[in-house]
Amino acid sequence: MVRKRTLGRIAAAGLLSCALALPASADGLSRFEAAMKTAPPDALKYKSAKALGDNGFVLEDVVLTPPPDKGGTKAEPINIKRVAVEDFDFASVDKNQPPNSIKLRAEGILISGKPADGIDLSQMAGIDKVTADFLLDYRFEPDRKTLTLNRLELDLSGLARMELSLTLDGVTAEQLAKPEAALNDATLRTATFAFEDRTLLSKVLPAVAKMQGADADALVKMGKTLLDGVRAGQGTETLAALDAVGSYIDDYKQPKGPLKITLNPPGKTSVAMLSAAKTPDEAVKALGLVVSYAGTRPQAVAAAASAAAPAAAAGCSAGARFFVMHEDAWWSATVRDGTADKCVARIDGGSPDDEVTFALNKSLAWSIDGPGKAVGTCGSGQNVLVENDGGWYPAKVADKPFPDGQCAIKFEGADGDEDTVALKKVRRLD
């Protein structure tokens, strides 16, 4: 599968002029070419070019060489058939400010079968190369503090297409240069994301399953189990969204149309506000979230085991998930093989070597929220589990003040580190 780093390079191909200080000139092409004189040698080559008015240009047969990554690894050149920049806000960049508007399209981006270190699409899924198109169209209105992403699209020819549009309010020019800050502080007015699978899932899912020593059906079961863990006690809107996603997962071999996610918050909603949501229902209502898929069917839910009890009832079947004790913490793990009383599993998110063998009566039932039960309030001296980097570590609630919605805790062990963590990262087994 194309990793984030590769997608970032595709985006870089589309945004190849954004980071350059562009001096004023007669037309878009001459302004761009003047700016490229300050770029690193061989960063960009092309066979032909022409202007599109004062603020645009077209480049044909482009070879873009991104800078090395932070580790010094050289990036492979990216071949692009055509880059058309219809509109670029040169005036803002002339003032050392982010461009207030960009509209561009990069066509025929050639991605090799080995797009990044450790990824071989040819061996994984029989994909020798991928041809992609990338489109970006946005406008920022500083006076209104509004950022409108009209369209961000990535089309992987014959594999899949992804499209995003959104409107954010409360965005400043300073935040525009730092997207993370904009997402944290700005409020969402509306957003739409669509994923149209052509053959990507049917190629990649079996390949990923094979790498993990499982099959595609086991991965599908794992995904459905994740969704089942969210359903308990939720309202109609949340269940409808889960039905759509679950149905799409079931149909991964041949989806019946795209999966579309629409957000229309009833009020001002920011990332900070969403992080305070205590249930899926609260998040769904705050976002005005609707998930649609033409093949949506009501989803049957497997009976869940008690979250606090040993997980023996779930059985040691391939694809089953448990929490297991490994290196002083409880970790989520997925079963690969086993007998009636012994399981062989791989730590979720770990390397192929991160395997553990455990007895069912020494495991905990899996839940998307974590092992055991939620903690409503923190009581001094209470024995708890605290999430840290994916693992749930034994700890004790410290006898010290802490803000609402948080717990002051002290981890068990020789180090006995202390910390103050969000309440949702704290669970109990008793």
Q: What percent of the chain has pLDDT over 90?
A: 25
Cβ proximity of 409 and 384 under 8 Å: yes
d(CA 53, CA 298): 53
Confidence band of 3 (pLDDT split at 50, 70, 90): very low
Of residues 317 and 118, the one with the higher pLDDT is 317
Question: Mean per-residue pLDDT for 235-245?
Answer: 92
Beta strands in 318-368 (DSSP E): 321-326, 329-338, 342-347, 355-359, 364-365
Which tokens sit at 319? 């694809």
d(CA 333, CA 323): 6
DSSP annotation of 33 reads H
* pLDDT of 230 over the 70 cut: yes
Cα 424 to Cα 226, 279, 330, 370, 410: the distances in Å are 18, 10, 16, 9, 16
| Terminal C-alpha separation, the chain | 42
- pLDDT of 301 reads 66
Among the listed ranges 89-98, 225-234, 261-270, 338-347, which one has the minimum average pLDDT value? 338-347
Question: Mean per-residue pLDDT for 263-287?
Answer: 81
Cα 189 to Cα 141, 300, 303: the distances in Å are 15, 34, 38
Question: Mean per-residue pLDDT for 295-309?
Answer: 62
d(CA 387, CA 391): 5
3-state secondary structure of 293: coil
- b vs e for 308-329, b when ≥16 Cβ sit within 10 Å of the residue's Cβ? eebbbebebebbbbbbbbbeeb
* pLDDT of 6 over the 60 cut: no
Question: What digits encode the pLDDT tens for the residues 176-198?
Answer: 766 666 666 788 899 999 999 99
* pLDDT of 312 over the 80 cut: no
Of residues 39 and 154, the one with the higher pLDDT is 154
Amino acid identity for residue 204 in this structure: V
- pLDDT of 418 reads 84
Question: Mean per-residue pLDDT for 300-321?
Answer: 54
Question: What digits encode the pLDDT tens for the residues 48-99?
Answer: 999 988 889 999 999 988 877 666 677 778 899 999 999 998 888 778 788 8
- Give this prediction's pTM: 0.64
* pLDDT of 309 over the 50 cut: no
Q: Which helix (H) or strand (E) is 201 found in, with range? A: helix 200-211
- pLDDT of 306 reads 39
Number of Cβ within 10 Å of residue 106's Cβ equals 28
Which tokens sit at 159? 């594999």
Question: Mean per-residue pLDDT for 274-295?
Answer: 86
- pLDDT of 19 reads 37
Backbone angles phi, psi at 115, to 5 degrees: -70, -20
d(CA 314, CA 308): 13
Cβ proximity of 280 and 230 under 8 Å: yes
DSSP labels, 127-164? --EEEEEEEEEEEEETTTTEEEEEEEEEEETTTEEEEE
- Enumerate domains of the chain plus CATH numbers: 1-136 (no CATH), 142-150+159-302 (no CATH), 312-365 (2.30.30), 373-428 (2.30.30.140)
The 3-state secondary structure of 209-278, one letter per residue: HHHCCCCHHHHHHHHHHHHHHHHCCCCHHHHHHHHHHHHHHHCCCCCCCCEEEEECCCCCECHHHHHCCC
* pLDDT of 334 over the 70 cut: yes
Q: Which of 331, 352, 366 is nearest to 222 (CA)?
A: 366
State which of 28-42, 237-251, 294-308, 316-330 shows the largest mean pLDDT: 237-251
* pLDDT of 245 over the 60 cut: yes
